[in-house]
Amino acid sequence: MEAIKATFFQECEELLADLEAGLLALEGGDTDPETVNAVFRAVHSVKGGAGAFGLEQLVRFAHVFETTLDHLRSHELEQTAHVLKVMLRAADLLADLVRAAQSGAHLDEARCQALAEELVALSGDHAAESEPMGAASGADYLLGDDFDFKPLQVAFTDSGDGAGGAVMDEPGLTDWVIRFRPLATLYLKANDPALVLRELERLGALEVGLEQSELPLLDDLDPEGAYLAWTLRLRTSASEADIREAFEFVDGDCDLEVTAVADPFAAQFEEEPAASPVSSDVELDVMALIQRAQAEVASSDGGDIFEPAALAEIAPDSPTPSPAAAPAAKTADAAAVAPVTTTIRVDLDRVDRLINLVGELVINQAMLSQRVIEAGLVRSSNVALGLDDLEQLTREIQDSVMAIRAQPVKSVFQRMPRLIREIAAATGKQVRLVTEGEGTEVDKTVIERLTDPITHMIRNAIDHGLEKPADRVAAGKPAEGMVKLSAFHRSGRIVIEITDDGAGIDRKRVRDKAIEKGLIAAEAVLTDEETDNLLFMPGFSTASAISDISGRGVGMDVVKRSVQGLGGRITIASRPGEGSTFTLSLPLTLAVLDGMVVTVDGHTLVAPLTAVIETLQPKPDTVRSLGPSGMVVAVRDAFVPLIDIGANLGFRSTPIDPCSGVALLVENDVGGHAALLVDAIQGQRQVVIKSLESNYQQVDGIAAATILGDGRVALILDVDAIIANRRPEPTPAPAPEHNPPLLATAS
Amino acid sequence: MSRTVLTVDDSRTMRDMLHMALTDAGFRVLQAVDGVHGLEMLEADDAPDVIITDINMPRLDGFGFIEGVRQDARHRATPILVLTTESDSAKKNRAREAGATGWIVKPFNPEKLVEAVRRVAA
């Protein structure tokens, strides 16, 4: 408390300085209403703080000063030189009062009184309206503000343990019948009838009866409407005023009748509720607070918010999910289910350190395994078995540690509605945002670096994708455009789609622009996909005049680069007149990877296991040549391109005989297939990803590197890039089964 | 899980007092210095269970803040308590019209404050 008091006086110094500066500015002819407001707030804050510390003299004067300033603020009082002079003197006195309060002294009351009267006099006619000055009004102010908050008697119905100690003897109990019908406005203010009932229950034994006769059928139900009412029977020693106090916050937003019942049926309630008086000292009573908090926890954990009888009445009687019934049910459910989860906040650095250590642990465990094998121990030896357990544990630790960093993408998605509103306002377009899969979890690092690309793509979608309302109506679409942002997991990656229902990519314009910018030759023949991908070329911008919206910040090329930096890929699908979809596919974590370890020309490489569908041994009759160097392999009833990794990465100049190696059938993000030819498969292993870019530079076809159990470095293949580079046809996801001549030879 | 309370007040003294009283009572406390800041805090991940706001604040006052909160679908049902030194009911009514759930009269003691928060917190 003393520390806060010190803060208060410190803040007072600043406020008083602001006050003086503001008044001087006003004296100098400043007419900005905000200046008057600031002056008012300064005095107001001094008063508020002083009130909290019981600095009566200060409060009294500040109140008078504030009232006069309020008149100035509302232009009831003209801002004249004389007025400001008095106010500056008042500010000086206020400063003196603050200093006096700080040293525990009192100023001469007469001086305060005189200036207070002068301030009141300023308001002239308004003086009559404002309170008479002097000690009495100050006291009134202090006490009068205290209106409704009388010390409450807290009664727990389950107080068999006599909590609170000081059991008060209740003289007489009265039965009350309370009819409580909330209006819709009650819900709009976030009030909850269940909470009001909870308040009442603190007063005594409460019987709750629900009236739901007004509840319409679901079709007619207005989710914002109010249909429920309660008839409550309360047995308490509290007065009617105490009962009405429970309804204080909902006063005016409900129909309320409180009537006393003359004939109490005494036998029904035998147990007399014990009451613990709540301390109401102005001084902070920590013990009382703790006791209160504990009692509260105890009462809510026990699910004792409602009596079982009351619950039984509410629950089965409310078949429709009405908004009014929901809170009551929710409270009950929460109490019944309530396996309360607790959270702690941890410095991110610590988590990262843990993740690094676990990464090292994984490597170390792999090395140990290797050593055991090298030592010639049999797999059934105790050491080897223990090592298996260790591997299992390591994996679980790793998963758990990763889960610490996993966060729902909600934090990114949440920022978008505001962005949409701003852009919609700036572009004059009507936009509705639909989000899906907000709960999809992904590593925190990925999330942090997702915001900018998503933000930019949404800007793009609205600015370039969606048409103006009039154009949309002309095209037979609703005037309001839709942007959909969805996230989901697919084969170990997180996929984020940004879809708009706009005009789609104007490929002719994109092409013209690219030619104009010299990005492609005028006679170049491009597929639709290639045209769309021109958007990602550095220096490309389709808007004739770079608009304020999309032009801000980064271009699509930067978006693509930042997505690639996350180990992700971005693809476009667009249909003229129907809209476009931008798809981001990203790894869930940037730290580990399940890999298939393979040998290629003496080198050890790792292929991400998530990309590998199956492995197969090419046979001479399943492999065909295609063109001068291309090869395809028959996989069941389809042909897929066969890519020799060794040749592709430049380990060797001529491809090996396909039949001497093993092919990994892999799939890329858009469902394209390819078979990667390697010399041999070593096995599957979890590897810790070490960035190649940060240690060396980006290499096409290589995603990253890792350290193997034997300490050697292995490169991790970028399967998508390899497929993209080697794709024989330029069309996306070539489906070889659409190739009749080959299909004929396959079977 | 302890409940989270967002306090919106331009006065550091008041923020400190709220913070102390609420943390002592076991609440987790988020703090904003004015209405604009308060709305920004609500954009972030951490949705409070109860909001306590002052009325007189720079940039955006309590009324504007409450209206802003109520316009956001995510926070329509979050209880908002207004801190007021005003004994006149006009301010209180204006706050309620804006969508305030209840009020706390300054000067308050910790019991009163916690009691009011408890009253509106589900």
Cβ proximity of B31 and B62 under 8 Å:
no
Q: What is the nearest CA distance from A549 to chain B, expressed in angstroms?
A: 21
Are residues A183 and A217 part of one domain? yes
Q: What is the nearest CA distance from A195 to chain B, expressed in angstroms?
A: 7
Of A303, A337, A371, the position where a domain reaches its end is A337
Are residues A632 and A554 part of one domain? no
What are the tokens at A394? 């390591």
Is the pLDDT score of A498 beyond 90? yes
Of A331, A300, A297, A191, residue with least CA distance to A247: A191
- Closest chain A residue to the Cα of B116, Cα to Cα: A149
Contacts of A283 in chain B (CB under 8 A): 109
Residue A683 forms beta bridges with which residues?
A597
Contacts of B16 in chain A (CB under 8 A): 3-4, 7
Are residues A445 and A545 part of one domain? yes
Across A150-168, average pLDDT: 41
Contact B109 A284 (CB under 8 A): yes
Amino acid type, A521: A
Residue A443 lies inside a defined structural domain of this protein: yes
Residue A321 lies inside a defined structural domain of this protein: yes
User: What CATH number does residue A128 fall under?
Assistant: 1.20.120.160
Sign of CA dihedral A111, A107, A44, A48: negative
Between A598 and A34, residue with greater pLDDT: A598
Phi and psi at residue A94, to the nearest 5°: -60, -40
Contact A3 B16 (CB under 8 A): yes
Residue A426: its H or E element: helix A416-427
Query: A18 to each of A40, A64, A244, A328, A552, how far by Cα in Å?
Result: 10, 19, 43, 49, 37
Residue A594: its H or E element: strand A592-600
User: Is domain B4-120 in CATH 3.40.50.2300, yes or no?
Assistant: yes
What are the tokens at A586? 């990203």
A334 lies within 8 A of chain B by CB: yes
Neighbours of A744 (CB within 10 A): 8
Neighbours of A655 (CB within 10 A): 17
Amino acid type, A631: M
Are residues A572 and A618 part of one domain? no
Across A303-310, average pLDDT: 42
Are residues A559 and A488 part of one domain? yes
Of A227, A212, A213, A232, residue with least CA distance to A307: A232
Q: What is the nearest CA distance from B74 to chain A, expressed in angstroms?
A: 10
Are residues A396 and A367 part of one domain? yes
Cβ proximity of A5 and A52 under 8 Å:
no
Q: Give pLDDT, residue A298.
A: 56
Cβ proximity of A191 and A258 under 8 Å:
no
Q: How far apart are CA A654 and CA A640, in angstroms?
A: 20
Is the pLDDT score of A392 beyond 90? no
Contact B99 A188 (CB under 8 A): yes
Residue A66 sits at the vertex; the CA angle it makes with A61 and A70, to the nearest 5 degrees, is 155
Are residues A561 and A602 part of one domain? no
Give the CA diameter of chain A. 112
Overall number of domains in chain A: 5
Of A37, A44, A47, residue with least CA distance to A97: A47
Residue A361 lies inside a defined structural domain of this protein: yes
ipTM reported for the complex surpasses 0.90: no
Q: What is the nearest CA distance from A41 to chain B, expressed in angstroms?
A: 6
- pTM over 0.80, yes/no: no
Q: Give pLDDT, residue A545.
A: 42
Domain span including residue A530: 418-587
Confidence of residue A330 (pLDDT cuts 50, 70, 90): very low
How far is the first Cα of chain A from the last one, in angstroms, to the nearest whole number?
87
Cβ proximity of B92 and B3 under 8 Å:
no
Is the pLDDT score of A605 beyond 90? yes
Among the ranges given (A404-418, A618-632, A684-698), the one the predictor scored with the smallest mean pLDDT: A684-698
What are the tokens at A400? 């758990």
Is the pLDDT score of B119 beyond 50? yes
Cβ proximity of A264 and A255 under 8 Å:
no
Q: Give pLDDT, residue A137.
A: 41
Contact A52 B107 (CB under 8 A): yes
Of A562, A587, A612, the position where a domain reaches its end is A587
Question: Where are the strands (E) in A588-712, listed by range?
Answer: 592-600, 603-608, 612-616, 623-626, 630-635, 638-644, 662-667, 673-678, 680-688, 702-707
What are the tokens at A360? 């090292």
- Closest chain B residue to the Cα of A289, Cα to Cα: B25
User: What CATH number does residue A490 fall under?
Assistant: 3.30.565.10
What are the tokens at A713? 């470095």
Of A408, A433, A451, the position where a domain reaches its end is A408
Closest partner residue to A4 (CB to CB) among B13, B44, B108 is B13
Are residues A169 and A318 part of one domain? yes
What are the tokens at A478? 């609703």
Of A722, A605, A721, A706, residue with least CA distance to A661: A605
Of A197, A215, A60, A61, residue with least CA distance to A142: A60
SS3 call for A697: coil
Residue A547 lies inside a defined structural domain of this protein: yes
Residue A641 lies inside a defined structural domain of this protein: yes
Sign of CA dihedral A411, A414, A420, A421: negative
Contact B17 A296 (CB under 8 A): no
Contacts of B17 in chain A (CB under 8 A): 4, 52
Q: How far apart are CA B24 and CA B16, in angstroms?
A: 12
Of A252, A258, A256, A247, residue with least CA distance to A184: A252
Distance of CA B95 to the CA centre of its chain: 11
A713-717, strands of its sheet edge to edge = A680-688, A592-600, A603-608, A713-717, A702-707
| Chain B (15-74) residues lying within 8 Å, Cβ to Cβ, of chain A | 16-17, 20-21, 24-26, 43-45, 56-58, 70, 74
Residue A343 lies inside a defined structural domain of this protein: no
- Return the residue in A19, A35, A189 with the most chain B beta carbons within 10 A, the one to mutate for interface testing: A189
Are residues A165 and A121 part of one domain? no
Of A455, A449, A462, A706, residue with least CA distance to A561: A449
Q: Give pLDDT, residue A325.
A: 42
A2 lies within 8 A of chain B by CB: no
Q: What is the nearest CA distance from A184 to chain B, expressed in angstroms?
A: 12
Q: How far apart are CA B116 and CA B30, in angstroms?
A: 17
| Chain B (76-115) residues lying within 8 Å, Cβ to Cβ, of chain A | 76-80, 85, 87, 96, 99-103, 105-112, 114-115
What's the whole-number average pLDDT of chain A? 74
Confidence of residue B86 (pLDDT cuts 50, 70, 90): low
Are residues A140 and A40 part of one domain? yes
Residue A647: its H or E element: helix A645-648
What are the tokens at A492? 């170990």
Neighbours of A566 (CB within 10 A): 17
Confidence of residue A320 (pLDDT cuts 50, 70, 90): very low
Of A576, A725, A731, A587, residue with least CA distance to A650: A725
Closest partner residue to B58 (CB to CB) among A4, A41, A146 is A41
The residue assigned the tokens 């003359």 is: A262
Peptide bond before B107: cis, by omega within 30 degrees of 0?
A: yes
Domains of chain B, by residue range, sit at 4-120
Q: What is the nearest CA distance from A8 to chain B, expressed in angstroms?
A: 5
Among the ranges given (A40-44, A432-436, A519-523, B78-82), the one the predictor scored with the smallest mean pLDDT: A519-523
